[in-house]
Structures are given as C-alpha cells and as structure tokens.
C-alpha cells in the first residue's frame, strides 16, 4: 500500500469512514481523542476488494502545490483510486473563498479546477465541489469534521450504489438529500454521535 505526501492538514480516507463503520458494526480502534475509527488494515482491505484495486493508492497533496499555494487538505478514495487536493491560491480571500482543486485518477492523470464556494449548488454538484466545500468548513473551523463526515457519506453511497468508477468524482448529485438519508441511517442504527455529526453538517448545507 503506497501512500505519500501526508502532512498535518492532509489525510487518506479509505472506505466509508467513521460514521458508516460505526453504523455497520465494523471493527474499530480507539484514538487519542477517544473517538473510534475503522481499523486501517480492515478499511484498506475492504475497499480494495470492493473496487477490485490492482495498484497502490497514491495520496497527492503538499508536494504538488503551485508556487505560493497553501494545502488545505487532500484525500484518496480507495473505491476509485482517485486522489484529490485542495489548495488556497496565493491571492486567497477568506471573505470570498475560491480554492484550487487538483484531482488525479488511478493512472496519475491530473486535472484541475477553481472552486468558488459561494457558487456551489449543494443539491447538484460533484465530488470535487463537495470536497472543496467540506474542506473549507473544516479548515475554517466552522465544522471541523465536515470533510470526514462527507468522506464517510461518499464512501457509503458509492458502495451502496456500486458507483465507484473513474468518472464518479464528476457525477452531479443532491448531496443534501444523500447526507439526510445517511443521517437517518445513523439514527436508525442508534448511533447518536454519527447522527448529530451529520445533523451539524446538514445545518450548514441547508
């Protein structure tokens, strides 16, 4: 398993994430913050089996920034093999946040996009816009675990719908409805922390 470029504000999020694993009863381990997260080995193995992965996952990020940019966060989706990194441009304005997002497919081909947070339609946007939006909420402190929650929802949705292919990141969906459904699943599974975390994220989105 090859993962590189992990910095303070970066992470690799494999499989469906904390909330989904809690709800589905996956094996967990305790962290220093007294929260539970899926076993790294279990998550990687399950994700590779689901995606039929045949090549190492690569996390791009800090070392791929353009001159003057600051890394906000990066992730690799084990279901698709796609890696994504969100950067603050040199002229970043916190009052009107616009992020530079780079994505790499499983073969290492890179594409990039500028994402204006104020112009995202959360009911009809793709994974790239949603990643920038949730990293923005996390990095600004408005909702510190926003990206983690989104990663959990994204992984669960892709697995449930069996939609983990090269173009998954470009498919526009209603993330408000998807997160609302995931929140209900947490409630039905009596996972109140997962439910409340989703409810907090949904509050920003609505």
Residue with tokens 């791929």: 64
β partners of residue 173: 125
- For residue 118, the 8-state DSSP code is G
CA distances to 45, 111, 170 from 165, in Å: 18, 16, 10
* pLDDT score, position 18: 36
Instruction: Kindly report each contact of residues 159-163 with a partner whose C-beta sits within 8 Å and lies 24 or more positions away, as own/partner.
Output: 159/16, 159/50, 159/79
Provide the whole-model pTM. Answer: 0.74
Contact indicator for 78, 51 with CB cutoff of 8 Å:
yes
* pLDDT score, position 163: 65
Residues in the chain predicted with pLDDT less than 50, given as ranges, are 1-53
pLDDT 10s digits, 141-195: 999 999 999 999 988 888 887 766 667 788 899 999 999 999 999 999 999 998 9
Q: How far apart are CA 203 and CA 181, in angstroms?
A: 14
Q: How far apart are CA 204 and CA 112, in angstroms?
A: 26
């Amino acid at each position: 398993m090859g993962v590189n470029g992990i910095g303070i504000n970066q992470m690799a999020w494999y499989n469906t994430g904390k909330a989904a694993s809690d709800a589905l009863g996956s094996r967990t381990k305790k962290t220093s913050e007294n929260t539970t997260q899926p076993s790294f080995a279990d998550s990687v193995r399950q994700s590779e089996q689901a995606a039929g992965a045949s090549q190492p996952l690569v996390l791009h990020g800090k070392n791929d920034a353009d001159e003057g940019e600051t890394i906000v966060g990066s992730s690799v989706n084990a279901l698709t093999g796609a890696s994504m990194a969100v950067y603050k441009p040199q002229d970043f304005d916190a009052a009107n946040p616009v992020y530079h997002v780079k994505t790499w497919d499983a073969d290492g081909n890179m594409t990039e996009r500028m994402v204006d947070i104020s112009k995202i339609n959360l009911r009809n946007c793709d994974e790239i816009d949603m990643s920038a939006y949730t990293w923005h909420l996390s990095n600004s402190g408005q909702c510190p675990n926003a990206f983690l929650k989104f990663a959990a929802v994204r992984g669960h949705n892709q697995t449930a719908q069996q939609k983990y292919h090269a173009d998954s990141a470009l498919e526009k969906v209603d993330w408000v409805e998807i997160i609302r459904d995931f929140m209900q699943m947490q409630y039905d599974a009596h996972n109140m922390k997962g439910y409340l975390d989703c409810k907090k994220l949904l509050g920003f989105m609505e």
